[in-house]
Each structure stands twice: as C-alpha cells, then as structure tokens.
Copies of this chain bind each other. A is one copy, B any other.
Amino acid sequence: MKAEGGAGAAHEKVASGAGEKEDASGTASTNGSLGSAKDGLSAIMPGWFFEISPMWPGEAHSLKVEKVLFQGKSDYQDVMVFQSSTYGKVLVLDGVIQCTERDECAYQEMITHLPLCSIPNPKKVLVVGGGDGGVLREVSRYSSVEQIDICEIDKMVIDVSKEFFPKMAIGYEDPRVNLYVGDGVEFLRNASEGTYDAIIVDSSDPIGPAQELFEKPFFRSIAKALRPGGVVCNILFSFLSYAEMAKSMYSQFSGVIGFVICSTEGPAVDFRHPVYHINEDDHSHKSVGPLKFYNSEIHSAAFCLPSFAKRMFN
C-alpha cells in the first residue's frame, strides 16, 4: 500500500499514544489534584472536565460542565456524555473526549471526504468504529454509494449517540446502512476479498478496546477487503510506524490532527487532487446540512505539511 499523510485542522478526537501511560498517571499523581478517575471529572475543580492524556503530558484541556447527562460502563469502556457550557454536548470514552457538538464536523468530514472524493463513484464503503454515526452521515452524501457497512464494537456508544447526538446519529437513518455490532478485526477477517471501494477506520485510542485496530494483521485484512485501487483512511496515529512522528506532530502543535490515506495496488489514486468535487453548499441533503469544514481546496491543502513534518517524512 502506498501511503500519504495529510494534515487537517480539527480539534478533538486526537488519538493518543501508546507506551507513555506512566506520564499521564505521573502528571496526575505528582500534582495530586487533577481529579480522579478515567472520567476526568475533577473533585477539586467542581464543574469542570479535565482531559489528561499521555499524548499531552504537562498540559490539560478543560471544559466547563453544565450537566452530566450520562455515565455508564459498557463491556469495553467508560462512557460519559456531558453538556458543556460552550462546546455543546461532549462524548467521552475512557476519559478522552471523542467529539463535541461544536467541532465534530471537521474530523468527520475530513476522515470521510479525503478518501471518498479521491476515487470515482464509490459504491461499497465500510466504516470500522464510528459508532456515533457522524462518518455515516458524511458517507450518505454520495449518491453513487449503494452499500454502507459499519462495524462498531460497543453498542452503548451507538445507543448513547442516538439519544444525545441526533445530528451525528442521523447517519444511521440512511437505508443503505447495515449495522454490525461486533469486533472490526473479526469482521474484516471474514470479509470477502476485494469487496470495498473505501474503508474508513474511525476508532478510539490504541490503548482501549481498539488496540487490535493498530496492529499489522488488521491492515492486511483491510488490504484484502479492498478492491484494487481501493482506499483506506485512518488517523495518523493508528499506524504504529508513524507513531513517533504523530506524537511529535501533535506535541509540537496541539489542535492539529493527521490522517493517513492509502490505496491498494490497482488504478492509481492521486490523493492530492480529488476526482470528485463535492458541493460544499449543497442544501439538498436537508437533514444533513451543507458541509461545514471540507471543500476541494481544503482537501488539497491538507497535503501541504509544515516544514518539520516534511523533514520527518523524508
């Protein structure tokens, strides 16, 4: 597979790095006051949520909480939803913010349209993870698409999204969607060869239930399940070989997320120049609304990397 890295601007849903867990707990313990627990709710600053991650030791992002709307423990992770004072509702898995109503659009649009606008007439698309439904919502904009499979391991994430995040969960309402609740690794292992035009891996951190989605056998399954010239898009972090690079990138400039996009051998894919120009102002998808972040210019611009990142790739 040929890989290209693209950097898009998106705030949340930054993947977290492996092998540094001690830093996070270290931060919490030497400080002795950054609240308890995976949920990040602070005992000492009541009413605030703290996001502490091994990805950004020595700093904490915090949001003011209006009200905790849901707290549960699924078979896989801690799930929390709170109403923030300025970011709308916020979905938190194992203490890490997955998305906020205010800025989820940037992430969902980029991880979906970077691959789908790079190939002509995608017909079969697979989403691995993405239980909130936001990627489904974006895939549903393509009239060429006939089949949208999604494999999400955690039913609680789906249920919570349907209850609290209707603007993301609306993606499930598309009749082309087939939902499989189960293990993405197994799903892909059993997928027929050459099935999909595009696969989008929208997972949480490599530390939690998504761990296997960051290992080689999974990438081999992806390559097998894609048609020749098919594409896969993933957050930069999910490629272990890029982990150090991603870490350095995030740590230099928080607030930036990287994606890795690859194609299987076959018809060449020129990722920098989208073949499909999606109409960013299209109001025909009334329920979904026009695009907030992505457009064809942003697509190409996402492949322009800062000098330090270019040097890392070379």
Q: Which A residues form the contact surface with B (CB < 8 A)?
A: 7, 9-11, 27, 31, 33-34, 44-48, 56-64, 84-87, 102-103, 106, 251-256, 280-281, 290-295, 297-298, 300-302, 304-308, 310-311
Contact = CB atoms under 8 A, between A and B. Distances in A.
A102 B249 CA distance: 11
Given A11-B254, A59-B61, A59-B84, 15 more contacts: A9-B253, A9-B256, A9-B306, A11-B255, A33-B45, A56-B86, A58-B85, A59-B62, A59-B86, A281-B311, A297-B305, A298-B305, A298-B307, A301-B301, A301-B302
A64 B298 contact: no
Contacts of A255: 9, 11, 253-256
Contacts of A254: 11, 255
A290 B306 contact: no
Contact of A290 (B48, B84, B307): B307
A32 to B, nearest CB: 9
A224 B256 CA distance: 38
Contacts of A47: 31
Given A294-B307, A307-B280, A308-B292, A85 B64 contact: no
Contacts of A298: 304-307
A45 B62 CA distance: 13
Q: Which 7 A-B pairs have the closest CB atoms?
A: A255-B255, A58-B86, A301-B301, A58-B85, A301-B304, A297-B304, A280-B307
A42 to B, nearest CB: 9
Given A27-B64, A86-B57, A9 B9 contact: yes
Contacts of A310: 280, 295
Contact of A45 (B31, B86, B301, B305): B31
A255 B255 CA distance: 5
11 contacts: A9-B256, A9-B306, A31-B48, A33-B46, A44-B45, A45-B45, A58-B63, A58-B64, A58-B85, A292-B307, A298-B305
Contacts of A305: 297-298
A293 B307 contact: yes
A59 B45 contact: no
Contact of A295 (B62, B63, B292, B306): B306
